[in-house]
Amino acid sequence: MEDEDKRIFTGCNIENATYGLTLCAERVALFKAISEGAKRIRRIAVVADTDALTPPCGACRQVLWEFCGDAQLILSNLTGAQETTTLSQIFPRPFDASFL
């Protein structure tokens, strides 16, 4: 994850036996960025050890939208496959504070 000052924030999946209390790498990186003073996230990279490119899960999409808006999203895997898109392309009609 890269903020407007070009600082990089990393995250990893933090899993446990309950699954529901697991944290995905995207949210870990975002919360780390926020805790270190990042104001605007420009770019999010999701890299997975999978054959198919792996987009953020629904929970991550929601949290990323609320804190990052329509940021650039780069999906990649360990074989070098890559796709660049935006959050709005993978998360159409998001729910956010404008509906409250």
Is 73:84 a contact under the CB 8 Å cutoff? yes
Residue 32 belongs to what H/E stretch?
Answer: helix 25-35
Angle at 43 between CA 30 and CA 28, to 5 degrees: 15
* Catalytic residue selected from 26, 36, 66, 83: 26
15 is catalytic: no
Q: Point out the residues that are catalytic.
A: 26
